[in-house]
Amino acid sequence: MYLRVEKRTMKRKSQGRPKKLEVYFIGDKACYSSYEHGRFDRPLKDIYKFILCHSYRDNGKNKKYQYVVLSTDYYWLVDEMFCLWDYFDVRAGSNREKKLQGFSNNVGMSIDDLFYYTYDRIEKIRQPLIKEYHKTKEYKTNKKNEEIIRSYQEEKRKFDDKYGPGTYEKCYNVFGKLWNKEKLEEIEEQYKKNQEYQQRSWDSYRNYSGYSSFFESKTTYTEKEQEMLKTIYKRMAITFHPDNKNGDADIMKFINSKLKKDWGI
């Protein structure tokens, strides 16, 4: 058995990666695009066809059995997302699966063994091509853009987790540059007010009727369990305290009386 490689040239050129990241605005948010400045030209038009071949004799005659693994262009072959297993992990019952299984039976090798056999030989072809491609301006520019976007997404996640979904784009663009200082100050001021409000609310909850006795009562709970109960009470109090616009006085009374009794506090 051997892997045959056929090489031909496609008639048209393919479009490459975007040349530059561009900032644009939708309402009060800074968005980004990769296509405003076009794409790189891809001058190489090579097509690679990989075929597993098995020669054997049957009743004194030479015969050949083959299976076409894949046909791909140069740029997909050198792409980091290229995955050979996609061409072996086929859907059960499909025509491709039947051909692959037929070849596997004919050569007496499992599909997994066929994969590793093919992988080793294709990688010997891929690696020199990958090194060649990594020297191109297209590759270097794309890696730079990917790093900018990765950093942007990480900073956006941390910022939005703190100040709320969608707030990062209202202040910063994809390059991490502050473009709306007034909005940032507004968001930070509102965050500060919210924090102060929550602290005042909690302080008032601590003094709410029944709170002190709730935890000062003799209980059979361990210290760790009492700390857990304090956490539970705090969260319930923040939610249901009557001073809260979504609060509920009846539920708050239930917490301070019924639960206290049932829990043996």
pLDDT confidence of 192, banded at 50, 70, 90?
very high
Question: Which tokens belong to 154?
Answer: 């990480």
What percent of the chain is predicted at pLDDT more than 70? 89
Q: Which residue has the tokens 């539920």?
A: 251
**264 pLDDT band (50/70/90 cuts)?**
low
Could you tell me the end-to-end alpha-carbon distance of the chain, in angstroms, rounded to an integer? 79
How much is the average pLDDT of 45-73? 91
215 burial class (0-12, 13-18, 19+ CB within 10 angstroms)? middle
pLDDT at residue 178, rounded to an integer: 97
Q: What is the pLDDT of residues 157-183, one digit of tens each?
A: 999 999 999 999 999 999 999 999 999
Distance of alpha carbon 107 from alpha carbon 116, whole angstroms: 15
Cα–Cα distance for residue pair 141/221, rounded to 1 Å: 62
Identify the bridge partners of residue 73 per DSSP, sorted by sequence position.
47
Which pLDDT does position 85 carry in this prediction? 92
Confidence check: pLDDT of 206 > 70 = no
Q: Is the pTM of this model over 0.85?
A: no
Q: Residue 236 has what pLDDT? A: 81
What is the reported pLDDT for 205? 65
More confident: 100 or 247: 100
Identify the band that residue 251 occupies on the pLDDT scale cut at 50, 70 and 90.
confident
The helix or strand, by DSSP H or E, that contains position 44, with its residue range, turns out to be: none
Q: What's the rounded mean pLDDT across residues 14-28?
A: 90
Which contiguous run of DSSP H or E holds residue 37?
none
Helix, strand and coil content of the chain, in percent to the nearest 5, comes to: 50, 20, 25
Q: Residue 140 is inside which H or E element, if any?
A: helix 137-163
For 83-122, the pLDDT digits (tens) are 999 999 877 678 888 899 999 999 999 999 999 999 999 9
Residue 63 has pLDDT above 80, yes or no: yes
> By the 8 A CB rule, do 160 and 166 touch?
yes
The CA distance from 231 to 224, in Å, is: 11
Whether the CB-CB separation of 247 and 205 falls below 8 Å is answered with: no
How much is the pLDDT for 212? 52
Q: Which one-letter DSSP state was computed for residue 243?
A: T
pLDDT at 30 over 90: yes
